[in-house]
Amino acid sequence: MECADSSLYTGITTELTLRISEHEMGKGARYSHGRGPFRLVHQELYKNRAEASKREIIIKAMTRTRKLALIQGAP
């Protein structure tokens, strides 16, 4: 998600719409508290939470430049 301050937040969930609503209500991750409104800029689907968690770690380790390239669809 892109936060109102233009920062990027990465997380995993099984209920995307609900999770975004939680962030909007201030019930999401500590990082996102007070940074709304939010805009979904990228999503990936995985078969299970383990695969999603591995990908989350990879994305969180990326530089902002690389994350923006991912959002734009760069390989």
pLDDT per residue of the chain (75 residues) written in tens, 0 to 9:
999 999 999 999 999 999 999 999 988 888 999 999 999 999 999 999 999 999 999 999 999 999 999 999 976
At residue 28, the pLDDT reads 82
Amino acid present at 41: V
Rounded Cα–Cα distance for residues 39 and 42 (Å): 9
* Geometric angle at alpha carbon 44, from 54 and 58, rounded to 5°: 30
Contact between 26 and 33 under an 8 Å Cβ cutoff? The reply is yes
Say which amino acid occupies 39: R
Task: Tell me the C-alpha distance between 74 and 58, whole Å.
Answer: 15
Residues 4 and 37 sit within 8 Å (Cβ to Cβ):
yes
